[in-house]
């Protein structure tokens, strides 16, 4: 399987920067406010992907959109946090387009980016997201520091989660992502924090995008706030790094033409 990313020249508008740092946090739970405080303390920006309802209950952030600090952005994460694959056209429109309109009406700001619930998507879901007017959509693939070939399949660099090394390796192996298998084998002794810092070094060395994502409710449940703080401290306040939200990144990247022979994957 081909990875949904390509290595293209860095956005020319950022010529003086070596890397881009962005973060994204899913599900719109109350612990997101703690996440915003932590990110703010390091000057790191981010996008909060908010469903209208999560596990049948209103998502706390969806009810409190005007309270979100200006450094952060709200992105769409569907109406009911359902697997979007195989939904009929009407339901798909409600989940993708209807939820966008709701978030915009409540928050008074445009909602420009989307994250597929549970990272699950198919061609119809990607088309629906593009047609609804989103600039990009995040998937849950990791270990990427390059520009996505398809903005509607934007991969990430790492999830803030202490997955065991064997499970990490197995997941990439089963998806035939051999470059990721090789990367994990080379970095076998690193914890998730070690991988995060190593991938940041790679992004800075080669000119790339470092995108950390996760769930604040999971960070809370697993007691990972301190570990996350360590990672954020390592990537914060670098003069040669541009810090932005997912939407700002999508805007920057949309100005970069795809290399010859490449066409947009989501029609
Ligand atoms: Zn989610």
How many angstroms separate the CA atoms of 33 and 231, rounded? Answer: 19
What's the mean per-residue pLDDT of the chain?
92
Going from the Cα of 27 to the center of ligand 1, the distance in angstroms, rounded, reads 5
Give the pLDDT score at 147: 83
Going from the Cα of 119 to the center of ligand 1, the distance in angstroms, rounded, reads 8
**For 266, phi and psi rounded to 5 degrees?**
-95, 110
- Listed in sequence order, the residues at least 6 apart from 253 whose beta carbon sits closer than 8 Å to its beta carbon are 11, 136, 147, 148, 151
How many angstroms separate the CA atoms of 156 and 165, rounded? Answer: 18
How many angstroms separate the CA atoms of 110 and 62, rounded? Answer: 14
Residue 64's H or E segment, with its range, is none
Q: Mind listing the pLDDT tens digit for each residue in 50-82?
A: 999 999 999 999 999 999 998 999 999 999 999
User: Closest Cα partner for 18 from 242, 261, 178, 249?
Assistant: 242
Whether the CB-CB separation of 53 and 242 falls below 8 Å is answered with no
Q: How confident is the model at residue 206 (pLDDT cuts 50, 70, 90)?
A: confident
For residue 62, with 0-12 CB atoms within 10 Å meaning exposed, 13-18 middle and 19 or more buried, which class applies? buried
Tell me the domain boundaries of the chain. 16-254
Residue 265's H or E segment, with its range, is none
Residue 184, pLDDT above cutoff 80? yes
Q: Mind listing the pLDDT tens digit for each residue in 16-28?
A: 888 999 999 999 9
Going from the Cα of 239 to the center of ligand 1, the distance in angstroms, rounded, reads 33
Give the pLDDT score at 261: 52
Going from the Cα of 226 to the center of ligand 1, the distance in angstroms, rounded, reads 23
Going from the Cα of 144 to the center of ligand 1, the distance in angstroms, rounded, reads 20
Going from the Cα of 25 to the center of ligand 1, the distance in angstroms, rounded, reads 9
How is residue 52 written in tokens?
């209208």
Give the pLDDT score at 53: 98
Give the pLDDT score at 15: 72
Going from the Cα of 190 to the center of ligand 1, the distance in angstroms, rounded, reads 27
Going from the Cα of 22 to the center of ligand 1, the distance in angstroms, rounded, reads 18
Q: Mind listing the pLDDT tens digit for each residue in 140-166?
A: 999 999 888 899 999 999 999 999 999
For residue 147, with 0-12 CB atoms within 10 Å meaning exposed, 13-18 middle and 19 or more buried, which class applies? buried
* pTM above threshold 0.85: yes
The C-alpha angle 194, 206, 251, rounded to 5 degrees, equals 100
Domain 16-254 fold: TIM Barrel (3.20.20)
Q: How confident is the model at residue 2 (pLDDT cuts 50, 70, 90)?
A: very low
Going from the Cα of 120 to the center of ligand 1, the distance in angstroms, rounded, reads 10
Tokens 């409600």: give the residue. Answer: 94
Mean pLDDT of 193-200: 98
């Amino acid at each position: 399987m081909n990875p949904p990313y390509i290595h293209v020249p860095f956005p020319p508008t950022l010529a003086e920067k070596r890397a881009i740092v962005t973060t994204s946090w899913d599900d719109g739970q109350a612990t997101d406010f703690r996440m915003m405080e932590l990110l703010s303390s390091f000057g790191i920006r981010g996008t909060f992907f908010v469903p209208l309802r999560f596990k049948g209950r209103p998502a706390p952030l969806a009810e409190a959109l005007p309270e979100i600090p200006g450094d952060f952005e709200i992105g769409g994460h569907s109406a009911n946090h359902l697997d979007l694959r195989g939904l009929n056209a009407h339901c798909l429109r409600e989940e993708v387009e209807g939820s966008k309109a709701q978030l915009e009406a409540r928050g008074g700001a445009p909602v420009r980016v989307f994250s597929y619930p549970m990272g699950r998507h198919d061609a119809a879901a990607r088309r629906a997201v593009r047609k609804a007017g989103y600039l990009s959509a995040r998937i849950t693939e990791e270990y990427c520091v390059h520009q996505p070939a398809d903005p509607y399949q934007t991969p990430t660099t790492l999830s803030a989660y202490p997955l065991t090394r064997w499970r990490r390796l197995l997941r990439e192996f089963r998806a035939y992502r051999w470059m990721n298998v090789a990367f994990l084998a080379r970095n076998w002794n690193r914890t998730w924090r070690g991988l995060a810092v190593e991938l940041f070094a790679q992004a800075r060395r080669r000119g790339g995008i470092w995108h950390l994502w996760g769930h604040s409710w999971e960070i809370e449940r697993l007691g990972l706030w301190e570990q996350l703080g360590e990672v954020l401290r390592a990537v914060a306040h670098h003069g040669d790094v541009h810090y932005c939200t997912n939407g700002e990144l999508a805007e920057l990247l949309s100005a970069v033409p795809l290399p010859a022979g490449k066409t947009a994957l989501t029609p």
